[in-house]
Amino acid sequence: MELTTLLFLGFFAAVALLNYTLPRVLRPYCLLAASYLFYCWGANDRLLVPVLVAATLATWGCGLVIGKCRIGPVRVIFLLLAVFTCVGLLFYYKYWNLLAADILSGTVLQPRTDMVTPLGLGYFTLAALSYTVDVYKRRCKVELNPLHYALFVSFFPTMTTGPIERYPHFRPQIHKSRRFSYTRCAGGAFRMLWGYTKKMVLADNMNLYIKMVYDTPAEMNGPNLVAATLLFSLRLYLDFSGCCDIAIGAARILGYDLLENFHSPFEATSFAGLWQRWHMSLTGWLRDYIYIPLGASRCNVVRHMLNTLIVFAVSGLWHGADLRYLEWGIACGVISVIAQLSKAPRKVLWRYNPLYREPAVQTFLQRCITYLLFSFTMVFFASAIYNAAPGEVFAGIRLARVVIGQPGGIESERIFPKELQNSDGTEQRDRRAEHIQHPCRRTRKAPHQTKAQHIERNREQPLVPRAAEPCFLPPRREQTGDQRTEQIPQQQPLRKAWPRERRRPSNEGQLQPEQDGQRAVSARQPEEQAGFCLRNLCVAAGSGPEQEHGEHQAEIEARQPCERVLLHACLLGNL
C-alpha cells in the first residue's frame, strides 16, 4: 500500500477515527493491529510477515537479556546475536543476488530469481538494531512489553519511507497517549498536504523528463543530460522529503512525533553541511552506530579518512543492492575526504578571493558549488534507479567539445540532428562541419512535404559545396587604376585625435606655411585627412570670400565620394 494512493487515505482516516474513539490504554494495540494490516495488504508482503515477527522477537529478547543481565560476556554475546540477526536478514533478502551475481559471479553462490525483499526491510532492521545497542550502552530502559516494542518496529507511517526512529524518542509517546487536539490534527493534515504537493505535483512531473533522458543516455545530447542531472537532485529531494512529510503528518494526527528527516539541505554552504541536513535519521544512525565506534576523528588522519569512506560506502549499500549505489557512496566519501583535507587551505584562499568579500555573494557561490558537487555524485544514484550506465551519462555531458564553423561560430557538437549522420555512423564530424560552413545548401521544407520527407530529401542531396551560391560575406572587388580596392574594412589602430600643430620657431603666434600643413595632412590616414580638410574648409568658409571655395574645389574633387559629400555639406553650411 503506497502512501500516495486513495486507498491509503481511506485506510488512514479509518485508523485515526478508531484510534481516538478507544481508551488511551488500548490505542497502542489498535495501532499495532493497523500496522500489521498495512504490512499484510500486498500479496507478496503477506508471505514475509514472519520475517518482521522474527526480527522483532529476536531483538526484543536479546535486549531483555542485555538489560537484565550484569555479566559482561553474556551481554556481548546477546548483542552480537542481535546484530547477526538483523545483518543476516539484510544480507539474505537484499544482498544475496548482488553478492552472488556481481561480486562472486556465480562461482560460490548462485543468484536467486524468486527472491522478494520484505517491505521496509532497511528501516525496521535498523530501528530494531538501534534498540539493542541503546540498551547495551544503557541509553534507554529495557522494554518489558513486547507489543509496545512491536509497535515501535512496525509503525506503519514509517514502514516505507522512514524516518528511522529511535526507541528513547518513541517510548514515552507509547506509554502516554495524547488526547485529541484540533490544532495538532490540523497541523498534521497541512504537513500531509504539503508532502503530497511535493511528491505528486512537483517530483512526479519532473520525473517524466528525467526518466526520458536517462532511459536512453547514449542518444541524448549534452544539454539534456546536464539538465536532467541537475533536476534529479531536486526531484529526489522533493520525492523523498514529500513522502517523509506525509509520514510525519500522519503520525502527528495519530498523536506521535517523529524525527525530522530533512532540513533545507540545499541551503548548506559545504558538502559536509549538506549531509548534516540530508536524510538526517540515516546519517545520525550511521554516525552513532558505525562512525563513532570506529573511532570517528579521535585517531590519526589516515584512519579518520578511512572511517569516512566506510560510512559513506555503507550508506550507498543501504540504499540498494546495486554496485552503482556503492559507487555513489564512495564518490560522496571521496568528496568529503577532499573537503576535509583542503579545509584549511580553502579558508586561506577565501581571504584573497574578491568575490567572497560580500557575504551574500560568498554564500550564493558556496551553495551553487555544493549543489553541483552533489548533483555530480547523483549520476550514479540516478543510473541505478533508471538502469542506465554511468559511463554513458558522463560521456554524454561534453560541453567543452565544440565544432567551430567559418560563418556559424561555435556550436555544440551533439546538438546536430540525426539526419546529418551517415547510415553507418562514419564521417559524422566532417558532415556536421560542412553543414555549418554551408547552411544555404539545405533546401527549405515545401508546404506539401511532411517532416520525414523533408529530412529524407536533404539526406539524399550531395554534400559538395556549390560555388555559385552566395556566402554570408560579399566577395571582394578588385578595381584597376587609382581606385582603391573595396574590401571589408579592418579596424585601424587607435591614434591621438588631434596632434598639436607645429609652430614657427621665430614667430610663435603664427602657423607654418600652407605647404607644410598640406604635407602633414597627406601623411595622415584617409579619415584624418578628411578631418583636416573639413577644419581648413570651415575656417575658409567662415571668412566669407567665394573665391576661396573655388580654390578648394579641386581638392574636394580629388577625394573619395563619401569624403566629397561631407566636405560639400560643411562648406555650404558655413557659406
Give the SS3 label for residue 412: strand
Give residue 483's region: left, alpha or beta (phi > 0; psi -120 to 50). Answer: beta
pLDDT at 295: 86
Strand partners, 412: 402
The C-alpha atoms of residue 237 and residue 243 are separated, in whole angstroms, by 10
The single-letter DSSP state of residue 419 is G
Q: Which of 230, 84, 271, 240 is nearest to 164 (CA)?
A: 240
The C-alpha atoms of residue 507 and residue 552 are separated, in whole angstroms, by 27
**Rounded to the nearest 10 degrees, how much is the dihedral formed by the CA atoms of 40, 42, 46, 50?**
-80
Phi, psi of 458 (to 5 degrees): -65, -30
The single-letter DSSP state of residue 317 is H
What is the full DSSP assignment across 450-482?
A: -HHHHHHHHHHS--PPPSSS--SSPPPB---TT
Give the SS3 label for residue 104: coil
pLDDT at 213: 92
Give the SS3 label for residue 410: strand
pLDDT (tens digit, 0 to 9) for every residue of the chain, 575 residues total? 788 899 999 999 999 999 999 998 999 999 999 999 998 888 777 888 889 999 999 999 999 999 998 888 999 999 999 999 999 999 888 888 887 776 666 566 777 777 788 888 999 999 999 999 999 999 998 999 999 999 999 999 998 888 999 999 999 999 887 888 899 999 999 999 999 999 999 999 999 999 999 998 888 888 899 999 999 999 999 999 999 999 999 999 999 999 999 999 999 999 999 999 999 999 999 999 999 999 888 888 999 999 999 999 999 999 988 899 999 999 999 999 999 999 888 888 888 888 888 889 989 999 999 999 999 999 999 999 999 989 888 888 764 343 333 333 334 444 334 444 444 444 444 444 444 444 444 455 555 566 666 666 666 555 444 444 444 444 444 444 444 444 444 444 444 444 444 444 444 444 444 444 454 444 555 545 555 555 554 544 444 444 444 555 555 566 556 566 566 555 555 44
Residue with cell 539545405: 442
For residue 88, give the C-alpha cell.
Answer: 543476516
Give the SS3 label for residue 331: helix
The C-alpha atoms of residue 481 and residue 33 are separated, in whole angstroms, by 106
